[in-house]
Chain A
Amino acid sequence: MKKLESIKRYLNKPSRIAYVFLAPSLIVLLVFAIIPLIASLIISVMNMNIFFTDTSFAGISNFIQAFQDGRFWNALLNTVVFVVFEVPLQIVIGLLVANALTKTTVFNKVARSIFFLPVICSMAAIGIVWSILLDGNIGLVPYLLEKIGIPNATFFRDVKTAMPTVIAMTVWKNFGYTMSILVVGIQGISTSYYEAAQIDGANKIEQFFNITLPQLKDTLGFCLITNTIGSLQVFDQVYVTTQGGPQYKTETLVQYIYKTGFSQPYNLGYASALSVLLLVVILLISFSMYRNMFMKTD
């Protein structure tokens, strides 16, 4: 009891108590983030399966296997297609809606609240809703489309339409997210710019391109980078709706990693190598974006 008191007294100094405050977080980050990260690099050069039979050093053979693996390239391509279409769509729609709803009026507030609703819902639930709404046999949307003269809408079921459908569903769910960030950004722009522009006779479109866009550059850059990094990890929406099909047309990198490691062939070494490649892709893309956007000296 006395000992505890003396420890307490010893620690009761800002320079000492700091470590007590930091310890829980740092231990969690060390054990559940840093160690797994390092282990991931190690496992990626091992032959290892989930049952630990035949564990051995593999060198770079897992990486060579990846470069010769058509399914890896397919998954990478699908992921890139997803990012290239989903991210700009989400940002452009989010921006246009944010721009229209910036002023604090009752209508705008209600609209912003409603557009945020899908952001709160889990992708699992949203995936269920859209799968059934768009179903070729019982879905309401294909039925309505047929009525207005567009028969046989296939959505998730056809190789050509599956990925666009996954992208559209994701934009539907997430544009409210980007909108919320950009509303805050636009509200932060000084009104004096717009007042001056109005006196000069600039219309709304000119104001948008000459004031709003340039002033929002940093916020947009931030959205672009974070959305890209997030989208490169796309998994949930595919897992719930198409499971990667049809014919692997919607299989993404994370989906392929998950399948390789946690279902047949339970190949952890190879799955780790794939996840290291994902990390490299993410770091390369985010670093080059970051440099282009924020480090330009002009």
Chain B
Amino acid sequence: MIKENKKSEIAFKIIKYVVMIALFIIVLFPLLWLLINSFKTEKEIIGFPPTIIGTKYTLKSFVRIFSNIPFAAYIKNTVIFAGGTTVIAVIFDSMAGYAFARLKFKGKNALFMFVLLTMMVPFQVMMIPLFLESNYLGLLNTYPGLILPKATTAFGIFMMRSYFSALPKDLEEAARVDGLNEMGIFWKIMFPLVKPGVMTLAIFHLMTNWNDLLYPLMMTSSTRMRTLAAGLALFVGEHATTYYGPQLAGALISVTPLLVLYIFFQKYFIASVATSGIKD
């Protein structure tokens, strides 16, 4: 019995490693292929038969993506939109989460239900009125117009609430006795204590907004205001069977910042996914 189990365990191990290595190739190959082909000449990308490694490497595709479309503006827009949204949303979510977790006030349950309600409504349902509203307020094609509607999320409030709830009781009482005011208690004592939550939430906001497509597509009609995802998608739509090199170079540039951050903050990337469950 035990011997048989040993045997089957070894068999499992072998199967596991074979399958995992196959999966490595399936997952990594397209990403490495993107890296290599961004540096190939257009001729070699469309040449027959297709090559894996290629013979000549050049930066031409990168030069072309910057000259064919306002790619530098896309980068700047994405940094401002995703970065600005992240900073503001983390602060707003934390403040609201703190209030729900640690403060006693009238109407708390009703307001919390109100927040949860917005979590259940998918973005696509309010997309058209949101567009009209932004148009009416003159927010289309502006940075505030891109950032404000995303400046808080029910999920973020919910998440920060649970982080603040987990802090030891009486923490703020001691600070109050010491004469610290309410704002000071939040900023100087409570906020620094939930740093892991703040990091996780920041990565969550950064990743969703950096990669978002439908929302910036809708909110920006001017070419110069597009984000990387929206701008690339439209570029592909216009040049589906040409400009392969620039498409790939653009894609490579657009994924690189998050991949670099992932190397340093992997823990928070995984946590942001494992706690969110909201796929965008």
Contact = CB atoms under 8 A, between A and B. Distances in A.
Given A13-B182, A138-B244, A143-B50, A128 B99 contact: no
A202 to B, nearest CB: 9
A164 B104 CA distance: 53
A122 B122 CA distance: 20
Given A36-B129, A43-B128, A140-B50, A29 B122 contact: no
Given A15-B103, A36-B129, A39-B133, A138 B279 contact: no
Contacts of A239: 213-214, 233
Interface string A161-180: 00000000000101011001
A212 to B, nearest CB: 14
Most buried by A among B1, B33, B93, B273: B273
B128 A271 contact: yes
B92 A24 contact: yes
Interface in A249-295: 254, 257-258, 261-262, 268, 271-272, 275-276, 278-279, 282-283
B166 interface: no
A261 B273 CA distance: 32
A21 interface: yes
A240 B233 contact: yes
A100 B19 contact: yes
B92 A125 contact: no
Contacts of B96: 21-22, 24-26
B207 A15 contact: no
Nearest to B4: A203
B202 interface: no
A172 B30 CA distance: 10
B128 A128 contact: no
Mostly helix, strand, loop or mixed at chain B's interface?
helix
B33 A29 contact: no
B129 A40 contact: yes
B277 A223 contact: yes
Contacts of B181: 8, 12
Contacts of B148: 28, 32
Most buried by B among A25, A116, A254, A278: A25
Interface string B238-260: 00100010011011101100110
Nearest to B258: A120
Most buried by A among B47, B130, B248: B130
Given A28-B151, A124-B213, A138-B50, A17 B182 contact: yes
A278 B122 contact: yes
B79 interface: no
A104 interface: no
B161 to A, nearest CB: 11
Interface residues of B, number: 102
Contacts of B34: 125, 129
Interface stretch (A57-65, A70-78, A228-236): A228-236
Nearest to B247: A128
A25 B213 contact: no
Interface in B1-58: 1-2, 5, 8-9, 12, 16, 19-20, 23-24, 26-28, 30-31, 33-34, 37, 45-50, 52
Interface in A17-73: 17-19, 21-22, 24-26, 28-29, 31-37, 39-40, 43
Interface of B: 1-2, 5, 8-9, 12, 16, 19-20, 23-24, 26-28, 30-31, 33-34, 37, 45-50, 52, 92-93, 95-96, 98-100, 102-106, 108, 111, 114-115, 117-118, 120-133, 148-149, 151-152, 154, 157, 181-183, 186, 207, 210-211, 213-214, 218, 228-230, 232-233, 236-237, 240, 244, 247-248, 250-252, 254-255, 258-259, 262, 266, 269-270, 273-274, 277-280
CB-CB nearest 5 A-B residue pairs:
A36-B126, A39-B129, A230-B279, A122-B211, A125-B251
